[in-house]
Amino acid sequence: MATCYIYGAMPCGNTEKIEEGDLLIAADGGYAYLQEQKPDLVVGDFDSLGYVPEGEQIIKHPMQKDDTDMLLAVKEGLKRGYRKFVLYGGIGGRLDHTIANLQVLAFLQERGCQAVLYGEKEEVYLLRNETITFSAGRKGILSVFSFEKEARGVTLCGLAYEITDAVLTNTFPIGTSNEFIGTEAQITVADGSLLVICER
């Protein structure tokens, strides 16, 4: 499946190779983090970047607007038919921007898209009534949180702390600081939305 890659205005660590048919968008200040790649589009109001790049395909928006620059970039990807999104540089810095980007994941999820949000040291998935599998050999900390009032039928397998058919709520952080143990791991939520946050 072709992928829409969007760069936000924060460091993002290692990035994936852009393939033919993929779309690369810089969301405002994300233009500074492209790592010498040439974007297909640069979108935003350019308050973060501080200037409008020359020699690029620009979609400029007013500073007074309802959508964040990341959401504007996502909507451009959706317009062009993309249903798989990788969002770089959307974690860290201002807490409100991080929360906004978590809501962008929910926006994509509601539209039946696959999406992952990468920061410099973390990656974030939002599951809804589904299972995610991590291959054997993975290391590091993993945490899960209910994104709604309740997430039911939560099962964690192949991790340091396993649970089966549990209920997680958004008022008790019991899913914090689990850990990969080198085996294949699976996380399932049967009813509801679950944030999965992993070390990169």
Question: pLDDT by residue (tens digit) across 42-66?
Answer: 999 888 888 888 888 888 887 788 8
Q: According to the model, what pLDDT value does residue 194 have?
A: 97
Tallying the residues shown for the chain, one arrives at 200
Contact status, residue 122 vs residue 91, Cβ threshold 8 Å: yes
Instruction: Supply the mean pLDDT for the chain.
Output: 93
pLDDT in tens, 87-105: 999 898 889 999 999 999 9
Q: Which of 198, 10, 3 is nearest to 120 (CA)?
A: 10
Contact status, residue 188 vs residue 131, Cβ threshold 8 Å: yes
Q: What is the mean pLDDT of residues 133-158?
A: 97
d(CA 53, CA 82): 25
Q: According to the model, what pLDDT value does residue 39 have?
A: 94
Q: What is the mean pLDDT of residues 20-34?
A: 93
pLDDT over 90 (residue 168): yes
Above pLDDT 90, what percent of the chain?
74
pLDDT over 90 (residue 1): no
DSSP line for 100-129: HHHHHHHHHHHTT-EEEEE-SSEEEEEEEE
Q: According to the model, what pLDDT value does residue 52 have?
A: 87
pLDDT in tens, 106-130: 999 999 999 999 998 999 999 999 9
Q: What is the mean pLDDT of residues 3-17?
A: 89
The least confident of 92-96, 137-141, 150-154 is: 92-96
Take residue 8 and report the two structure tokens written for it: 């936000």
pLDDT over 90 (residue 170): yes
Phi, psi of 101 (to 5 degrees): -70, -30
pLDDT over 90 (residue 173): yes
Q: What is the DSSP letter of 79?
A: H
pLDDT over 90 (residue 161): yes
